[in-house]
A and B are shown apart, each in its own frame.
Chain A
Amino acid sequence: MVPAFAILLLCQLVGEGIVHVSRIPVPGPVIGLVVLAVGLGWWTRRGGQKASLGETPLGRAAKGLLGHLSLLFVPAAVGIVQQGGVLAANGVAILVALAVSTVLALGVTAAVFVWAARRFVRDPAA
Chain B
Amino acid sequence: MTRPIDFLDLWVYLSGEPLLWLSVTVCAYAAADRISAATGRNPFANPVVIAVAFIALVLLGTGTGYRTYFEGAQFVHFLLGPATVALAVPLVRNLAAVRRMVAPMLLALLAGSITAVVSAVGIAALLGAPQPILAALAPKSVTTAIAMAISSQLGGEPSLTAVVVIATGVLGAVIVTPFFNALGVTSREARGFAVGLAAHGIGTARAFQVSETAGLFAGLAMALNAVLTALIVPVVLRLLSP
Contacts and interface: CB of A to CB of B under 8 A. Distances in A.
B191 to A, nearest CB: 6
Given A74-B48, A94-B133, A110-B180, A8 B82 contact: yes
A72 B171 contact: no
A103 interface: yes
A76 B161 CA distance: 12
Contacts of A15: 85
Nearest to A75: B73
Nearest to B224: A30
Interface residues of B, number: 110
Interface in B141-166: 141, 143-146, 157, 159-160, 162-164, 166
A36 B189 CA distance: 22
A12 B81 CA distance: 7
B175 A121 contact: no
Interface string B162-204: 1110111111100110011001010101110111011101101
A66 B87 contact: yes
B84 A30 contact: yes
B226 interface: yes
Contacts of B127: 92-93, 96-97
A79 B180 contact: no
A59 interface: yes
Interface in A92-109: 92-94, 96-109
Given A65-B82, A66-B90, A121 B104 contact: yes
Interface string B93-133: 10100001101110111011001100111011001111001
B contact patch SS = helix
Contacts of B195: 106
Contacts of A107: 179, 183, 194
B14 interface: no
A17 B13 CA distance: 39
A25 B101 CA distance: 25
B213 interface: no
Interface in B41-90: 46-48, 51-52, 55-56, 59-60, 66, 69-70, 73-74, 76-77, 79-90
B85 A105 contact: no
A25 B91 contact: no
Contacts of B145: 27
Contacts of A79: 66, 70, 159, 162-163, 166
A71 B24 CA distance: 12
Given A109-B197, A121-B100, A97 B185 contact: no
Contacts of A54: 89, 93
Interface of B: 25-26, 28-29, 33, 46-48, 51-52, 55-56, 59-60, 66, 69-70, 73-74, 76-77, 79-93, 95, 100-101, 103-105, 107-109, 111-112, 115-116, 119-121, 123-124, 127-130, 133, 137, 140-141, 143-146, 157, 159-160, 162-164, 166-172, 175-176, 179-180, 183, 185, 187, 189-191, 193-195, 197-199, 201-202, 204-206, 208-209, 215, 219, 221, 223, 226-227, 230-231
* Top 7 closest pairs, chain A to chain B, by CB: A109-B112, A75-B73, A29-B84, A36-B88, A93-B127, A62-B89, A62-B86
7 contacts: A5-B82, A36-B88, A50-B93, A70-B205, A70-B206, A80-B52, A90-B129
